[in-house]
Amino acid sequence: MTVKHVLNDQLAMGYAAGVLPEAFDVVVAAHLSLSDEARAMVSSYEAVGACLMEDCECFDMKPDAFASTLNRIKQSDIVVEKPKAKNVLPEPIQKYFGGDVDKVKWKSLGGGVKQAILPTDSKAQARLLYIPAGQSVPDHGHRGLELTLVLQGSFADEVDHFGRGDLEIANEELDHQPVAGMEADCICLAATDAPLRFNGLIPRILQPFFKI
């Protein structure tokens, strides 16, 4: 599957090295299942890591370091989606809900927008978001990193238009108001490592209740 917006080098490296917080790890794993290009980026970092360990004798490494790196490449927890898969949720996300989107227990955020938080460790938080076609989410900024992966439908914001498999990487510099496309209700997986900064009063008041 060809997607327009793929992960960056830092994320590819972090994923290959296995150092991302769980919430970001699942977003990247799901993104990799949908993008050949993203998968190629991660594989090249895994290969570079293995070569460095093989060639370099200057580090005092554990005897099994190379073997365990190779192992990580081989097991490569990267699950590639089958070409005609009908699932909305890629496999790495399904693990958290015991199945596809019909198993998800949504909680309303108002205006038809719903969320379901993934039970990951607490270093960062991942949630599925359901945004009805044509609906917008409140205008907000970010206090840290936000990764948003589109799983169904699409959304558009100040940056671009994002469809299934696309990953938007937002940080402190971006303020945006994503609006779901008209063609279908939008489902995406979003992960953040710090609370969002809402510009409107009502979302600010509701924020603690929704844990966003």
Task: Give the interface with Zn ion as residue ranges (CB under 5 A).
Answer: 146, 170
Minimum CB separation from Zn ion for residue 38, in Å? 20
Q: Which is nearer to Zn ion, 108 or 171 (CB)?
A: 171
Least CB distance to Zn ion at residue 187 (A): 16
Nearer to Zn ion, 16 or 113 (CB): 113
Nearer to Zn ion, 94 or 125 (CB): 125
CB 45 within 8 A of CB 16: yes
CB atoms within 10 A of CB 86: 6
Shortest Cβ distance from residue 165 to Zn ion (Å)? 18
**Cα–Cα nearest to 164, from 146, 183, 177:** 183
List helix spans (H) across 80-145: 91-97
- The label of the residue with tokens 């596809």 reads 100
What's the closest the beta carbon of residue 151 comes to Zn ion, in angstroms? 16
Compute the Cα dihedral for 116, 24, 91, 190 and give only its sign.
Answer: positive
Residues facing residue 168 across a β-bridge: 148
**Cβ neighbours of residue 164 closer than 8 Å, sequence gap 6 or more:** 1, 3, 34, 150, 151, 152, 153, 154
Tell me how far apart the terminal alpha carbons of the chain are, to the nearest angstrom: 31
Between 39 and 176, name the residue whose CB sits nearer to Zn ion: 176
Closer CB to Zn ion, residue 128 or residue 170?
170
Smallest gap, in angstroms, from Cβ of residue 148 to Zn ion? 7
